[in-house]
Amino acid sequence: MANSRSGDSMTERIVRVLDTFTTERTMQTTTEIAERTGLPSSTAHRIVGDLVAAGLLERDEEMRIRLGMRLWELALRGSSALRLRQAALPHMEQVQTVIREHTQLAVLEHEEALFLERLSHPDAGANITRIAGRLPLHASSSGLVLLAHADPALRERVMSLPLRAVSPETVTDAGVLRRLLTTIRRQGFVVAPGSIEQVSTGVAVPVRDRGEVVAALSVVLPRESAPAPAVDALLAAARAIEQDLRSGR
């Protein structure tokens, strides 16, 4: 791909355009995209036009831009995330019948916890997680499990950076975090009260595929709820998911 005067490739510029969309910002004007990418207006308009023509972006009647269905279609073809989600979903539903709050599936992606699926009861308590949303590894229960089982170099890189407090109870001390990750690996789960929201407790376990941790399965409970039933339900579901992944279901 040809480079721009700033040195970034066309692929990098396309990614910058796509990255302006978030779970909260699903519709934008082309001018807003240009401002958020820092691209010249003419460049942003040309890239958006090309992506609309290819079906990767769509333009509504008011000329606002959203992600296109073709992008979703391409993302699902042969996706390891789709295979994992399909294996996990029936067992997440089983957890929901027991817990009746929020059940979530997350993977490690670019040093964050990326959430592939979430099931929520209509009367469930607070939860900021969204499908295709991200949370810091050191703050969320899912992220803590993924970080505990990540490559040691990634763990050290995360702990060498400032650990942002998402809530007053988020672990922000690298030494405390290091000890917590060791405990998670030893006991096989984490209970993280108040790390994202003070009114909630996150509980998470690892999901393995042929021995390798590929995801975290978690629930979000009201702070006053006992975590033991959630731990038991999650561990049973994780074992069932692992069995289905081995058998290719």
pLDDT in tens, 69-82: 998 888 777 678 88
Question: Residue 36 corresponds to which tokens in the numbers above?
Answer: 């958020």
pLDDT tens readout for residues 199-245? 999 999 999 999 999 999 999 999 999 999 999 999 999 999 999 99
Mean pLDDT of 111-124: 92
pTM: 0.80
Name the band, by pLDDT with cuts 50, 70 and 90, for residue 2.
very low
Poorest-pLDDT segment among 33-42, 45-54, 123-132, 136-145: 123-132
Half-sphere exposure for 187 (CA within 13 Å, toward CB) = 15
Q: Distance between CA 165 and CA 65 in Å, rounded?
A: 33
Residue 191, SS3 per DSSP: strand
CB burial string 66-91: b at 16+ within 10 A, e below: ebbeebeeeeeeeeebebbbebbbeb
H or E element at residue 125: none
The length of the chain in residues reads: 249
Return the pLDDT at 3. 47
- Residue 249 has a pLDDT of 62
**What's the whole-number mean pLDDT along residues 133-137?**
93
Torsion sign across C-alpha atoms 35, 131, 181, 110: negative
Q: In the numeric block, which tokens belong to residue 228?
A: 């033991």
pLDDT beyond 70 at 102 = yes
**In the predicted model, what is the mean pLDDT of residues 28-50?**
95
Selection from 205, 228, 229, 208 nearest residue 217 by Cα? 205
- Could you tell me whether strands 134-136 and 112-120 are parallel, antiparallel, or unpaired per DSSP bridges? antiparallel
Q: What is the pLDDT of residue 1?
A: 41
| pLDDT of res. 4 | 52
The helix/strand/coil state of 199 is coil
Residue type, 76: L
